[in-house]
Amino acid sequence: MLLQVTSAAVRIFLASTPALCGPPVSPSVLQLVPTDSFAVAYCEDFAALRSRAERNDWYRLLASDHGEPLLRDFAREFRSETDTDMLELLAVCKQLQGESAMFLTSQVAGFVTTPPADRAALLEAMRTWLPESGPDALPRELELAGARVEMVAWRETSQYGWTARKGHFAALVDHPQVLGLFSGDDAEALAAVIGASIAGASSDERAPVVQAFERSRSGQPRCHGIEVFVDLTPFVPDYERELAADWAGVLPDPTGLLGLDQDFWLAVASDVHPGTRVDCTARLHIPRETLAASLADTFEPLPAALAGQLPNGLAQLHALRWNLKQFYTRLRGALLERHGAESLETLDALVGIDPSDDGSDKLADFLAQLDGTFAVFQLLHDSHDVLDFDDIGLFASLVDGAAFRSALDRLVGERTVETLIPSSTLEDTEVYLTGAGDDDFGFAILPRALLIGFRDVLARNLRAVNGVPGANLLDGSEVQAAFDANLGCCSISIEDLSTLEAEAVRRMGSAYRLPPEEGQEVGRNPFDSLLVFTSRRTAEGFRFELHTQ
């Protein structure tokens, strides 16, 4: 009965599409994205993207015998997280040539592409991705209005032992204009989406998410790789309802507070280039004149002077400038306006802060002494292959160290800093350490900075802050170059990928070098690079960039 209904639904949709019965045309695959989709991924030219990837060091590493163990480990993790075989998906990608798009609706996921020159090879790869047919798999082939639809239901368990897709359906669509893979939890809904999608080939109308995607691309550099657009507004009401239910009586009702019920989206563009360069840019659009936009304004550009406050020889650096006091004040103001003074009392009770005798806000006083610049870093050992928690340090810029100490004491309560941890001297500076050994953990409150870490890390950071020659990040290193090249960002993460090489070599069984180019004695090492991630506050929201260099 189910298959009869499915067949009828597909027949109705496909038969109502005149273009499917006429000569093939070349519609954009974006026309095939259904109206109720909330996310779309798009590649204009897959063959060109694959050609660039084949000249990229990371792609070449994974495609080599050396990189096979890394790819196998990643494929195993991908399979366990997604119930999907990554190697089967890669086999499909290998056959793609022209336009391709993937979309998501509330019930169905779909992938459509223009047929390549070797149509049979792509169909074979797609068919391999489909679940195995069998007595309990409900396979069905439908010849409808020029399109052949193969619909299959997943078994109770797959060859990998998965059970998550029991009752889940998949379909392969073979039509002269387009090839596609679709999946969903309901056969009737899947059939309806397939019909609506292919019907789009004869229509100039585009789904709202596609229109928003195309508007988001206006004025942006052209991306030749893969672009993703997600309309986030459908998720906001459900999230607010869940939050309100889970924290009822503890947090004020968050419904509509941030103002993210419209024009809230994420656009991502990624590409690869010859060498080690990999680029990914994301833009989070936040509607203006909302509390969300006001809170976003509390993220500010990092000061260039930060490099002189951090020790040299870093394997990782994560820095952020966030005006916490302003964020706290604006949030409290919004809660007061929306829910009244009672909501603030509820919030204070949640964080466990009792009001001061004089009525002042102890948390606000404490946050006022934090300048807003924070950094977490990890030192690099000479061996480049040993990283542990003892190498991590924290830095926070202060407005006034003495006022911060006083505000901290008031926040802690009856026991002051001195009564909790004894003071000692390190690098001619008063510090607070848990003991007298090399592995002691502690902190130092300076006139303009708070430093936290184990003894060795604390000592190196003190030398950097105190201006000892050669001790800070102003050492001409690649990390400093990456920091200087991204001035104006409100956060930055820099990771020296050489620290990952030892683990990669362990998995690969041997070191990896690209074949040397003409005039070189040794080939390039793809791990001899940095991974850099930044965020910037923009007029529309936030801009995030991830790249290797």
Q: What average pLDDT does the segment 191-210 reach?
A: 86
pLDDT at 408: 85
The Cα–Cα gap between 147 and 179 comes to 10
At which residue do the structure tokens 């000479």 appear? 382
39-50 pLDDT, tens digit per residue, is 999 999 999 999
For the chain, which residues make up each domain, given as ranges?
2-45+97-228, 297-471
151-196 pLDDT, tens digit per residue, is 888 766 555 554 555 567 889 999 888 899 998 888 888 888 888 8
Reduced to 3 DSSP states, what percent helix, strand and coil does the chain have, rounded to the nearest 5?
40, 25, 40
Closest CA to 546 of 504, 493, 472, 509: 493
Residues pairing with 86 in the sheet: none
Mean pLDDT of the chain: 82
The Cα–Cα gap between 481 and 435 comes to 37
3-state SS assignment for residue 306: helix
Q: Which whole-number Å values give the CA distances from 281 to 52, 228, 269, 297, 533, in the listed order? A: 18, 10, 5, 20, 10
pLDDT at 509: 65
Phi/psi-derived region of residue 256, left when phi > 0, alpha when psi is between -120 and 50, beta in every other case? left
3-state SS assignment for residue 338: helix
392-416 pLDDT, tens digit per residue, is 999 999 999 999 988 888 877 766 6
Of 381 and 128, more confident? 128
Burial code (b: 16+ CB inside 10 Å, e: under 16) for 78-96 equals ebeeeeebbeebebbbebb
For 58, residues 6+ apart whose C-beta sits below 8 A from its C-beta are 272, 276, 278, 526, 548
DSSP string of 238-257, one letter each residue: HHHHHHHHHTTTTS---TTT
pLDDT at 356: 60
For 336, residues 6+ apart whose C-beta sits below 8 A from its C-beta are 343, 344
User: Does residue 133 register a pLDDT over 60?
Assistant: no
For residue 129, how far is the Cα from the chain centroid? 26
What is the total residue count of the chain? 549
3-state SS assignment for residue 45: coil
The Cα–Cα gap between 256 and 239 comes to 11
Structure tokens at 99: 């336009």
Nearest-5° Cα angle at 231, 331 to 113: 155
User: Does residue 531 register a pLDDT over 70?
Assistant: yes
pLDDT at 38: 96
Q: What average pLDDT does the segment 341-362 reach?
A: 67
CA atoms lying within 13 Å on the CB side of residue 204 = 0
Helix (H) or strand (E) holding 316: strand 314-321
DSSP conformation class of 277: -
Backbone phi, psi, residue 460, to 5°: -65, -35
pLDDT at 306: 94
Number of C-beta neighbours around residue 549 at 10 A: 16
Closest CA to 267 of 42, 528, 27, 10: 42
The Cα–Cα gap between 202 and 461 comes to 65
Least confident among 52-66, 85-99, 282-296, 517-531: 517-531
223-264 pLDDT, tens digit per residue, is 989 999 999 999 999 999 998 888 887 778 888 989 999 999
